[in-house]
Amino acid sequence: MSAPSAAAQVGATIPNTTFAEVPYTPELDDAAACGIPSQGKTHDLFKGKKAVIIAVPGAFTPTCHVKHIPDIVKSAQKYQNKGYVVYVIAQNDPFVLSAWGRTNGAKGEVHFATDVDIAFSKALGATIDMSSKGFGIRTGRYLLVADDLKITHFAAENGPGEVEVSGAKSIDAVL
């Protein structure tokens, strides 16, 4: 991953881009259900809120699915109790991210959302080129904490298979 841009610095305003998600409803417990995607601008989603945003290169991939996101889902209630909304974002479409959230048992405690056109991650300078593996440009693996649209913490992993600064233990240390 390249060096984060000035937009990723503590005190900067988060980029105002679009996230898309299929909001969890109990009907989605049926694996045949797909739900209806909705979109929101990040400034509308996070205005006046504290947010933990975890970006990953892709849903259902070995590091993301096994080593990274399960502990975050298990800890989500703890983050909510501290007043944070929790988002996991990736470049995958909202239907895939919805299925991934359901597979992880998130049931609405964690939003699984698409970084539409990876614009949020691009603005932060936090993308990764995985073209050599046939995956193209992806969201990098990073942790962003914000309070009323201002970045209070940003940390990006050095490689796509690492979970050193963006996992649940790191979130616990900064909240």
d(CA 65, CA 22): 19
Q: What pLDDT is stored for residue 170 in this prediction?
A: 96
Which residues, other chains included, contact 139 with Cβ-Cβ below 8 Å and sequence gap of 6+? 55, 56, 57, 89, 90, 91, 115, 118, 120, 121, 126, 127, 128
Q: Where are the domains of the chain?
A: 6-159
34 annotated active-site: no
Given a cut of 80, whether residue 26 has pLDDT beyond it is: yes
Confidence of residue 1 (pLDDT cuts 50, 70, 90): low
Fold of 6-159: Glutaredoxin (3.40.30)
Catalytic residue, candidates 52, 54, 64, 88: 64
Q: 72-130 pLDDT, tens per residue? A: 999 999 999 999 999 999 999 999 999 999 999 999 899 999 999 999 999 999 999 98
